[in-house]
Structure 1
């Protein structure tokens, strides 16, 4: 697929081409481990996993928007359409949090609401970051 003017470019393609794996994995692992250690007892595994997934998506999306590495066309697209770009990491984080909540005893509705809440929060945060620092001049 070429990325020239006029071609369809999706948030998922943009996110995968500029995703900072090192930053995202580091933030997710660190915050997940800290959350697990601070909540030792019942539910500690679920708490650690959901916190880690949330910060994996948040830091990965934010560094992708702010950073200067990766494909310049993808960064330019993410800067021009920050709310569309924010959808991909938000949905990824929300699905992960919803599944972990469901599988660790949160129930079906608990998993759905936790996932939807995470999607909304990540989308708003990343969209605002992209709006403030993004721009078409990259």
Structure 2
């Protein structure tokens, strides 16, 4: 894929070209483990996984917006179009949360109602990540990269 003028450039491509994999993975692992250890309930794995997915997406997107590593054109795109860029990590976090929530609902016996609950949980997580990263991108995004 080329990033020349006139070609389509998606938020997903922008996010993957400047995504800080190590930092995002560490943030997800630490918060997921902490949530698991602090909340030993009936299904602690599902809650820990959704927490890890949320923070993986949020920290990864925030560091990608504020960091100076990665492709210069992708950083410029993320700074010029912060809401479009924020859609990539938001979709990742929302889809991951929805899948894990639905698996937990199916394991507890709520197949149909679990589908709706998982969809709303995923939409809520995606909205929160999108708003947070969009505001970070508007305020502190690197528009001159």
Shorter-normalised TM range = over 0.9
CA distance in 2, matches of 1:72, 1:30: 29
> Any unmatched runs of 5+ in structure 1?
none
Please list the CA deviations of residues 91-132 of structure 1 after superposition, one character each: whole Å capped at 9, or x if unmatched.
010000011011012711110110000010000000000001
SS in 1 for 2:143: coil
**Which of 123, 127, 134 is the aligned partner of 1:120?**
127
Moved over 6 A (4+): none
Please identify, of 102-111 and 90-99, the stretch whose mean Cα deviation from structure 2 is larger. Answer: 102-111
Please identify, of 106-115 and 86-95, the stretch whose mean Cα deviation from structure 2 is larger. Answer: 106-115
Residue in structure 1 matched with residue 29 of structure 2 by the alignment: 29
Please list the CA deviations of residues 54-87 of structure 1 after superposition, one character each: whole Å capped at 9, or x if unmatched.
0000000000000000000000000000000000
Residue in structure 1 matched with residue 101 of structure 2 by the alignment: 101
CA distance in 1, matches of 2:35, 2:44: 8
SS in 1 for 2:116: helix
CA distance in 2, matches of 1:113, 1:26: 27
What's the C-alpha RMSD, in Å, of the aligned pairs? 1.0
**Residues 59-70 of structure 1: matches in 2 within 5 Å?**
59-70=59-70
TM-score by length of 2: 0.92
> Any unmatched runs of 5+ in structure 2?
none
TM-score by length of 1: 0.97
Q: CA deviation at 1:43?
A: 1.9
